[in-house]
Structure 1
Amino acid sequence: MEIVAEPGVPQVVVTREFAAPARKLLRAHTEPDLLARWLGPDWLKITVDVLEPRDGGRWRYTHTDPSGERYAFFGLYHGTPTTERIVQTYEFDHQPGVVYLNIITFDERGDRTVLRQNTVFPSVEDRDYYVRSGMEKGLRPSWDRLATLVTEGI
């Protein structure tokens, strides 16, 4: 996994190759039961509140930590998700009023797929908050579980 957050640039680009076709990665991102199996840090419980993978559809999931603290993430789909890309807005309830643009692309290469997630922020400060909030600590184990899911679980 490669994570790039260049100084002074309000975006984070994460890239990883998976040993699975794009259709499985798309399913893992757009089916609630599959999303719940891989998304988020191990120590948090996830609840997929709504997932409407279509143009204009909403999505929302909530993570709950062992003490009961809740962290909600939500947004809208822009265009219908395909095996080429997902475009969505992304908001975090602990950072009200800040909307990120999240573009996920699937580049199929034979029996493997390169997943690239490009998240664009309104400002470098908003990007830095995202990075400091533990993004990498949650992302690495999540994508490890995603790799297992798409190679063994679906």
Structure 2
Amino acid sequence: MPVTDVTTDTENLTMTVTADFAAPVERVWSAYSDPRQLERFWGPPGWPATFTSWDHTVGGRANYTMNGPRGERSSASWEFLAIEAPSRFEVIDTFADEDGKPLADFPATRMTFDFEPTAEGTRMVSTSHFPSVEAIEQLVGMGMVEGLKMSMAQLDTVLQDLRDYAQGKGTRVELLDDTHVRITRLVDGPRELVWRAFNEEELMRRWMLGPDGWEMTECVIGTEPGQSYRNSWAPVGDTEGQPFGFEGEVLLIDAPRRAVTTERMQGMASPETLNDLNLYEEDGATLITALIEYPDKETRDMILATGMADGMEASYARLERELLTV
């Protein structure tokens, strides 16, 4: 976890976040000065940012919107007060409407970002200056600290070459908090093709089978918000196990990058999860990221204990093989 310290000082009306990255200052600076790279980490998991304007000059503005998994939208604006590449920049951060106009009911925050070299790479110190104690309490109450930590945890992926970061490492499971799990897998194939594999019945039946010895007996795909989907599996031959399946509703589609669905076991009063699938391509390879939100820690631990990650790895490995033959 890159964030090493978060300090709130109500006397001086500041919050200071310290994070360490295994990359040189110039590389970290480039991630903060390029909107396409910022979009990959500025915003906690499940709330990716889209920068709709970008004027990276003193006095210039950058507008962005964070998009929640259920279609929620939260917009904000940066006004650049200082830019000293590659060591420092300063902005006024304000909640805004989608046109960048500040919202009167939310406080503006002055934020400084300082980058300095270390023996291991770069230390970033970000200090937020608030207009009042009430403003600190309001933003902390809205989850600012947790959001910053989770956002910074995504920056490691951006700073490394994608293949160096993920190739050959299989399916990785990260426990983000008591109810959120992030699962990642690099597939050697273009994003458009991976998206098709998740959204075309003929392709899905070829790879989404879990361990060997199972077949997909039902495949109903939802391709638009509001539609339902339903997938079922059964053992083949001497394979042990009972038939099972999942069903749910599509909440959000942003082809070929993102799909958000609910998920529950068929025929059971089991808790529902929120599944947020994201695809990112770099150098001909696609990083599959599944962010899963569970209703509670007990449900999270129960489902992970079923060997879900092993089944996903078997499917993803099959997907990679099948992609090469499409």
Structure 1 and Structure 2 fold alike (TM over 0.5): yes
> Does the CA contact (< 8 Å) of 1:12 and 1:118 recur in 2?
yes
Greater relative CO (CA pairs within 8 A, separation 6+): 1
> Does the CA contact (< 8 Å) of 2:75 and 2:95 recur in 1?
yes
Q: Provide structure 1 residue ranges, at least 5 long, that are not aligned to the other structure.
A: none
- Matched residues in 1 for 2:79 and 2:125: separation? 19
Q: 1:61 to 1:81 in 2, by over 3 A?
A: farther
- Matched residues in 2 for 1:78 and 1:149: separation? 25
Counterpart secondary structure, 2:19: strand
Return 7-16 or 17-26, whichever deviates more.
7-16
1:105 is aligned to 2:114: yes
Residue in 1 aligned with 2:188? none
1:54 is aligned to 2:57: yes
1:75 is aligned to 2:78: yes
Residue in 1 aligned with 2:47? 44
Offset of residue 148 of structure 1: 2.5
Q: 1:28 to 1:12 in 2, by over 3 A?
A: same
Residue in 2 aligned with 1:150? 159
- Matched residues in 1 for 2:48 and 2:155: separation? 16
Return 66-75 or 86-95, whichever deviates more.
86-95
TM-score, normalization by structure 1: 0.90
Counterpart secondary structure, 1:13: strand
> Does the CA contact (< 8 Å) of 1:85 and 1:106 recur in 2?
yes
Residue in 2 aligned with 1:140? 149
Counterpart secondary structure, 2:70: coil
> Does the CA contact (< 8 Å) of 2:56 and 2:80 recur in 1?
yes
Residue in 2 aligned with 1:119? 128
Offset of residue 75 of structure 1: 2.2
Counterpart secondary structure, 1:55: coil
> Does the CA contact (< 8 Å) of 1:30 and 1:51 recur in 2?
no
> Does the CA contact (< 8 Å) of 1:54 and 1:81 recur in 2?
no
> Does the CA contact (< 8 Å) of 2:42 and 2:48 recur in 1?
no
Write 1 or 2 for the structure with the bigger share of helix.
1
- Matched residues in 2 for 1:14 and 1:45: separation? 20
Residue in 2 aligned with 1:14? 17
- Matched residues in 2 for 1:11 and 1:149: separation? 28
Per-residue CA deviations over 1:66-117 (Å, capped at 9, x if unaligned) read 2322111112101234111011111013862622110000011245111000
Residue in 1 aligned with 2:199? none
Counterpart secondary structure, 1:3: strand
> Does the CA contact (< 8 Å) of 1:3 and 1:14 recur in 2?
yes
TM-score, normalization by structure 2: 0.44
- Matched residues in 2 for 1:48 and 1:3: separation? 26
Counterpart secondary structure, 1:17: strand
Match of 2:27 among 10, 19, 24: 24
Identity of aligned residues (%): 25
* Root mean square deviation of aligned Cα: 2.0
- Matched residues in 2 for 1:152 and 1:142: separation? 19
- Matched residues in 1 for 2:159 and 2:69: separation? 28
Match of 1:128 among 124, 132, 137: 137
Return 99-108 or 41-50, whichever deviates more.
41-50
Return 64-73 or 101-110, whichever deviates more.
64-73
